[in-house]
């Protein structure tokens, strides 16, 4: 399995930006669909975005379109999440995850149970 380590979280004011990174090791990132999920206290784990192995296809949670951008650099074995115009409700632990399941734009893989490898998470706190 691939090992994943997130970084880049922190405390930011509302309206600010953060870029999260997820470094992979053990297996090449290029064979995986990668995803970002988040979990706020006492809430269910929530889908954020996914990106295809080549990076050519992305899919976002409807509520986050236009503010968040998922990207990847397979040469660096790294996944990214650029988060702009942050809101207090974006406060959560953010996780990156990997799956080898196929998907299409009409049938995206958004359930966290479909992902087999996970990072430890990075805390993002947005103050009002």
Banded model confidence at residue 17, pLDDT cuts 50, 70, 90: very high
The pLDDT tens digits for 20-53 are 999 999 999 999 999 999 999 999 999 999 999 9
The pLDDT tens digits for 52-83 are 999 999 999 999 999 999 999 999 999 999 99
Which H or E run includes 3? strand 3-7
CA dihedral 38, 87, 62, 40 (to 10 degrees): 20
> Cβ contacts of residue 23 below 8 Å, gap of 6+?
4, 5, 7, 77, 78
Which residue(s) pair with 49 in the sheet?
Answer: 36, 60
Which pLDDT score, from 0 to 100, does residue 1 have? 87
Q: Chain centroid to CA 96: how far? A: 5
The pLDDT tens digits for 93-122 are 999 999 999 999 999 999 999 999 999 999
């Amino acid at each position: 399995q691939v090992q994943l380590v997130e970084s880049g979280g922190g405390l930011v004011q509302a309206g600010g930006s953060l870029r999260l990174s997820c470094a992979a090791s053990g297996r090449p990132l290029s064979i995986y669909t990668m995803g970002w999920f988040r979990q706020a206290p006492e809430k269910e784990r929530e889908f954020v975005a996914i990106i295809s192995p080549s990076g050519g296809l992305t899919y976002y949670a409807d509520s986050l379109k236009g503010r968040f951008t998922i990207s990847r650099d397979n040469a660096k074995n790294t996944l990214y999440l650029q988060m702009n115009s942050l809101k207090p409700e974006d406060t959560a632990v953010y996780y990156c995850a990997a799956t080898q399941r196929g998907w299409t734009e009409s049938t995206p893989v958004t359930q966290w149970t479909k992902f087999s490898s996970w990072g430890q998470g990075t805390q993002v706190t947005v103050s009002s």
